[in-house]
Structure 1
């Protein structure tokens, strides 16, 4: 599944930059994204800035709330049917830990087996190298248009934009990805990229941006799906080159796997003459037996299905059957940096099921765009800063580990038991360490130093407690404070401050346990 850590500018393909326009779209339409009402997309901001804007979009919040609650209920139902679900989670976690420990050897084993079966393996250190490799392979095939299977890795590196700059048009064939592409939007969910759009918005996007959309198109789901199907069918039947990601790669056979729900992936993986797969190096499993574990946990955790509708497996090249040229691009792009962190490397265990997004109270309210990354939600908050690096509180990536309540719901549903709350705390500590070297402290750092000075001394803390009477007065009968003057306004701008208790714990303890004459400020 799919997106771009460099946060590309949202431009129409075929705009003033001379970029390629997929046939069947309307280049004469006004350039730029099709926005939600009163909600232009904003990128490059810190999470608090972007979240504040997203919270004002009632329609998006309603769309997200309905969709995530539906997926949560489906997942809970099918997971509850599996008597050994916890054992499967333990097995998945153990397999991923084993993979991370032996990744170099497993990658070499994968390369040997892919090559032995007629495939060609390419190694890409970063996004620029991967994009260059793919563009050269497409040019070598003599075409200027490709079809794509939904892929997180290709969106991570901005492949569509890089191909367009090279004069190659890439058409997304997953329905949700197609919606996002036509709208010049960005995905907001790992599994359901267009989860932030409702049916009427999709109808409008099709009518405005898809040249062969029926003029009388309604917002009925079947009509929308059939319009997209008719639009894509010609692409499938004429495409010479397809580009995919990979959910898994089996090291001991050289087999790649893509799981999807619509059948578009199967069309892309079987009809074209050349298949190019871009895969993050962490997607390995050692054996087919290991793959069996994830083919049970992934569909239940992602779509709430007992098994995946379309599971495509291919091993190299088979004469006369399927693509006759297969290229595998193994992508690093910051993954070895994450692997070097003994704690943070657990984020690489992720199998992109999106279960953590669907239970996260923060994601449900702000959506995926607020994370400014192709990997939104709790897993994005720990994965993105490690893949791209961060430089302290001023860096947008450094704000992501703080985009959480640490409620632990993400860990409870993760099919490979990634302890995301602990990773968030680990990365928060890293941000704090990065800030210690600053000569001019941040406002946050100054506030924490002031809090430390107060809380480290019993007398000062007791004096501060006496000041809470002011907050009780401001709270009044409502029981909470909504507005405080600067600098406390930085807190109340996004949070209500509950009224302090009438009796502090210190006072209660003194009344219940201390003898007359003893001090109560210890």
Structure 2
């Protein structure tokens, strides 16, 4: 993988010079992290709940096949149907078949990262279906023909003015709304547009935050209520979920709800937490007549039997993204993947291979903030190191980087050569600084020095200073 010529490097360069993007990313740095800290601090038992949730999830993953079959049994008992999809292509074909049987024309979707993962919208639109995203952020990026830049805030890279101009281009601004209008007016316009789509929909597609094995229920957590409307208004409801979302009991959901909303946006609880149990029963006033669940594997079974098993504990809260300095500098689109940030640096290579995403594990400073913030205590830094090791073992790195690291390994194995090298390097860097107190150019290190100035190192090595101090 040649980092200097990769798509990732090109997109990083574009992101760092995008003024509007940098303005929007301040919302992550200054907003979500502070709100999470306040919400977690206000919950003294946070660490106890965190350990409890990790134990529940580990137990579930150890017996995942058992709980999935139990979930299927109860969904079937409620009158629904469970479909198993090993690949993205299989999942899309199953969903298309359900829509075809329903004679659907109009489809509304709730926010779902797994449907992004399998590229469902593109597949359905190619078959002639009208698909409308109903989460506000997803709706915005659908109009912009972009992909999500954050797993819980898809349009976080957009400013209010950009959204207003987008609405003006895609549908006429109503009631005199302009890019100078307050956000509430833009939201009201989106709401009016989406209401029409809800009422005309033949099929509703949602994800699921959790699946409950003992009852066959699924749980949706939203702040906008659009997931409920997608589930209840259309005559056919399709739930698309990864196989790792199952939990044994209703009681087990409690700790996860307390962690999820605090970690995601700093809320004690989301506006809407809904438990669904399949198609409507005789006498029910609302709900679908036809109910389906599509369980997607897409590499998760392989992950389950590997050293990356704990990645399946992820609840998609986005806390690792919010605390990552790399994500905070470049946003999500630079990762050229559905999943970004630290979890994307692990999940994307595992789903689509290191040959495609071998650059992502290198987009990390290994500062460890992601694991500290993760409500499921996923060892993301360790996994990133392991993926780097795999990339090296499979010679996916560029020849230049392998040669450079090989030379460095040789130097560090020989103390005498190492001390001589450091002395010469310090003197060389002192020459490179010129009249400045900062180093603006590092030989063979242009990727590091192209966008940052380094402070001048000491005029002597650490060992020289130590010996002098010890006398």
Task: Report what 1:122 is aligned to.
Answer: 83
User: How far does residue 49 in structure 1 lie from its aligned partner after superposition?
Assistant: 2.8
Task: Report what 2:306 is aligned to.
Answer: 341
1:85-104 CA-to-partner distances (Å, cap 9, x unmatched) read: 00011111112211221111
Alignment partner of 1:416 is 2:376 = yes
User: Separation in 2 of the partners of 1:45 and 1:130?
Assistant: 30
1:346-392 CA-to-partner distances (Å, cap 9, x unmatched) read: 1111101111111111111100001111111111111111111213x
User: How far does residue 213 in structure 1 lie from its aligned partner after superposition?
Assistant: 4.5
Kindly indicate whether the alpha-carbon contact (under 8 Å) linking 2:177 and 2:186 is maintained by their aligned counterparts in 1: no
Alignment partner of 1:331 is 2:293 = no
1:158-209 CA-to-partner distances (Å, cap 9, x unmatched) read: 1000001111111000111100000111110111100000111000000101
Alignment partner of 1:506 is 2:463 = yes
Alignment partner of 1:357 is 2:321 = yes
Kindly indicate whether the alpha-carbon contact (under 8 Å) linking 1:69 and 1:358 is maintained by their aligned counterparts in 2: no
3-state secondary structure, aligned to 1:122: strand
Task: Report what 1:238 is aligned to.
Answer: 200
1:35-85 CA-to-partner distances (Å, cap 9, x unmatched) read: xxxxxxxxx944333212210112211111134411122221121111100
Task: Report what 1:470 is aligned to.
Answer: 428
Task: Report what 1:314 is aligned to.
Answer: 276
Kindly indicate whether the alpha-carbon contact (under 8 Å) linking 2:110 and 2:206 is maintained by their aligned counterparts in 1: yes
After superposition, residues 66-145 of structure 1 pair within 5 angstroms as 66-145=27-106
With 62-71 and 345-354 compared, the bigger mean Cα shift is at 62-71
Kindly indicate whether the alpha-carbon contact (under 8 Å) linking 2:177 and 2:185 is maintained by their aligned counterparts in 1: no
Alignment partner of 1:289 is 2:251 = yes
- Cα 1:210/1:484, change in 2 over 3 Å: same
Task: Report what 2:267 is aligned to.
Answer: 305
Task: Report what 2:229 is aligned to.
Answer: 267
- Cα 1:386/1:279, change in 2 over 3 Å: same
User: How far does residue 246 in structure 1 lie from its aligned partner after superposition?
Assistant: 0.6
Task: Report what 2:238 is aligned to.
Answer: 276
User: How far does residue 509 in structure 1 lie from its aligned partner after superposition?
Assistant: 4.2
User: Separation in 2 of the partners of 1:443 and 1:195?
Assistant: 36
User: How far does residue 459 in structure 1 lie from its aligned partner after superposition?
Assistant: 2.2
Higher share in helix: 2
User: How far does residue 479 in structure 1 lie from its aligned partner after superposition?
Assistant: 3.2
Task: Report what 1:186 is aligned to.
Answer: 147
Alignment partner of 1:445 is 2:402 = yes
Q: Structure 2 regions of 5+ residues with no counterpart?
A: none
Kindly indicate whether the alpha-carbon contact (under 8 Å) linking 2:106 and 2:200 is maintained by their aligned counterparts in 1: no
User: Separation in 2 of the partners of 1:489 and 1:60?
Assistant: 24
- Cα 1:300/1:510, change in 2 over 3 Å: closer
User: How far does residue 235 in structure 1 lie from its aligned partner after superposition?
Assistant: 1.2
3-state secondary structure, aligned to 1:435: coil
Q: TM-score, normalised by structure 2?
A: 0.94
Kindly indicate whether the alpha-carbon contact (under 8 Å) linking 1:475 and 1:498 is maintained by their aligned counterparts in 2: no
Match of 1:379 among 343, 349, 353: 343
User: How far does residue 308 in structure 1 lie from its aligned partner after superposition?
Assistant: 1.1
3-state secondary structure, aligned to 2:395: helix
User: How far does residue 105 in structure 1 lie from its aligned partner after superposition?
Assistant: 1.3
How many residues align structurally?
462
User: Separation in 1 of the partners of 2:442 and 2:173?
Assistant: 55
User: Separation in 2 of the partners of 1:287 and 1:206?
Assistant: 43
